[in-house]
């Protein structure tokens, strides 16, 4: 993990040196409150549950290793600060890269897994790191096939609203946006019922 943090920091510093980087920073840090909807709040909860491992019940497993002398509130605060801090630095890395690749227009900065699969390959290609570029290419084949090449993956599912989702969007919607949030809420309900009976 320390190595990963160092890599993210180095990439963030590099990103800030690129042309149009501060247009990306402006897009990242200046909020547009008109965009806040119930869907945005629900997706934010899903991200929080995923990021803090609340949605997978991992804290129950971690909790079994907590000693009697450990301060849970202090540990929770440290974990939250570390998680938010690393996510913030990752944003300082990603959005300047988007601005660099789009010449400041921020096109393609839509939320979701597609942002990573669109931006990072372009960034690594600009670094001319061939081994990483080849690895990213191989790992990205399924997502590439779901953006127009293979029709069954591109038009993978049509939601009741009429919105057509490609495969990667569908997987993200199910796993991150719905299962984590809904599962965590269900878990707390069941846990509360069990605690009342005991």
Q: Are 184 and 54 within 8 A, CB to CB?
A: yes
- Predicted confidence (pLDDT) per residue in 146-193, tens digit: 777 788 777 877 888 888 888 778 777 777 777 777 777 777 787 777
Q: Are 15 and 100 within 8 A, CB to CB?
A: yes
| pLDDT for the residue 80 | 82
Taking the CA atoms of the chain, what radius of gyration do you get in angstroms? 20
Q: How many CA atoms lie within 13 A of 94 on its CB side?
A: 21
CA distance 20 to 179: 37
| pLDDT for the residue 112 | 62
Which alpha helices (DSSP H) does 17-154 contain, by range?
21-29, 38-51, 58-63, 72-101, 113-126, 130-144, 151-154
The reported pTM is 0.56
What is the average pLDDT score of the chain? 78
| pLDDT for the residue 190 | 77
| pLDDT for the residue 139 | 67
Q: What is the DSSP secondary structure assignment for residue 20, as one 8-state letter?
A: T
User: Left (φ > 0), alpha (ψ -120 to 50) or beta: where does 108 sit?
Assistant: left
| pLDDT for the residue 128 | 63
| pLDDT for the residue 182 | 78
First to last CA, the chain: 40
Q: How much helix, strand and coil, in percent to the nearest 5, is found in the chain?
A: 75, 0, 25
> pLDDT under 50 in the chain at which residues?
none
């Amino acid at each position: 993990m320390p190595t990963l943090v160092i890599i993210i920091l180095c990439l963030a510093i590099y990103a800030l040196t690129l042309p149009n980087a501060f247009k990306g920073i402006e897009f990242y840090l200046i909020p547009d409150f008109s965009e806040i909807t119930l869907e945005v709040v629900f997706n934010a909860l899903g991200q929080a549950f995923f990021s803090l491992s609340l949605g997978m019940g991992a804290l129950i497993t971690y909790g079994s290793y907590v000693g009697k002398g450990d301060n849970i509130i202090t540990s929770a605060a440290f974990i939250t600060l570390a998680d938010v801090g690393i996510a913030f630095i990752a944003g300082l890395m990603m959005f300047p890269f988007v601005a660099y690749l789009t010449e400041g227009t921020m096109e393609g900065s839509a939320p979701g897994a597609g942002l990573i699969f669109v931006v990072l390959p372009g960034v690594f290609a600009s670094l001319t790191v061939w081994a990483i570029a080849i690895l990213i290419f191989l790992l990205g084949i399924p997502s590439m096939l779901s953006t127009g090449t293979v029709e069954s993956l591109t038009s993978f599912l049509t939601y009741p609203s009429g919105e057509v989702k490609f495969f990667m969007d569908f997987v993200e919607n199910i796993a991150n946006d719905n299962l984590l949030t809904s599962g965590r809420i269900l878990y707390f309900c069941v846990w509360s019922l069990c605690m009342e009976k005991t």
